[in-house]
Structure 1
């Protein structure tokens, strides 16, 4: 039983760290794709280039990665524990959890977002939620498909 529990916890951490990395890459890709659309606001072009600087300067990239882990860690832990305790294995649910965790992390960075609901903030929230959906899917692929702290009967 302890071996199965340790395996699940390690899979949760591995899934989370990889999902955060892929989620950050998704943010860059979404901003870059949106900036190439006709009549795209200059804001998208700026945001599409700014994260690339985090990749070019590795200490800055690591700072952004660890900051994202800190900002999304608590809500993701809560969602992962809910999924593990109730053996929730639906990929849509994990994608929803990923989007909710990403928006929660964004709300921690921009606590003034409810007062400043400009089109840029709505776009940011949508892009962050989209990246969270992708991160949730990645988490599901790594750890969520076999969610459940209880050991399956066939492994006795």
Structure 2
């Protein structure tokens, strides 16, 4: 019975870690665009992208739409990565960051398939992957450090 409780706790930690990581990843995207738009001689494109997140703050339903859309496009690959981490008890922060970056890139490709020669698309991809790395690190802080459906030996003995 204690094992079932432990697995349920891990599932809740994975879910909470994912939801918080998505939110932090979206904040990281906004922050990166804001920093890039402040760089001298930055393309006007970054100025536009630095202003558009204000619309998400001013219109909360739009913000919720962006949050839930991000959950939809990154949910499946994140579930696969979380299950791999839990089954194999992978607890390395760099691996969770890598998983976050790959999940963000895959979600971005679902939303914006298009011409591979568009330089703005590759700039956006780099920004989204960087935000995914941040989200992966946040996920590791919440749920990844103790990954594994099997309880640690010390906890089983105590």
Same fold? TM cut 0.5? yes
Which residue, out of 23, 39, 42, partners 1:40? Answer: 42
1:23 is matched with 25
Which residue of 1 is the match for residue 12 of structure 2? 10
Q: Hey, what does 1:138 align to over in structure 2?
A: 138
Question: Retained in 2: the 8 A contact 1:31–1:48?
Answer: yes
Provide TM-score, normalisation by structure 1: 0.97
Considering only aligned residues, what root-mean-square deviation do their CA atoms show, in Å? 0.7
SS in 2 for 1:40: coil
Equivalent pair of 1:28/1:52 in contact (CA under 8 Å): no
- The normalised TM-score by structure 2 is 0.96
Query: Which string of whole-angstrom CA distances, capped at 9 and with x for unpartnered residues, describes residues 67-113 of structure 1?
Result: 0000000000000000000000000000000000000000000121x
Runs of 4+ in 1 over 4 A off after TM superposition: none
Aligned length: 154
Distance 2:57 2:39 in 1: 23
Q: How does 1:5-154 map to 2 (within 5 A)?
A: 5-112=7-114, 115-154=115-154
SS of the residue 2:40 aligns to: coil
Q: What are structure 2's unaligned runs of at least 5 residues?
A: none
Cα distance between partner residues in 2 of 1:102 and 1:154: 35
C-alpha deviation, 1:42, in angstroms: 0.6
CA distance in 2 between counterparts of 1:79 and 1:124 reads 23
Q: What is the Cα deviation at residue 49 of structure 1?
A: 1.1
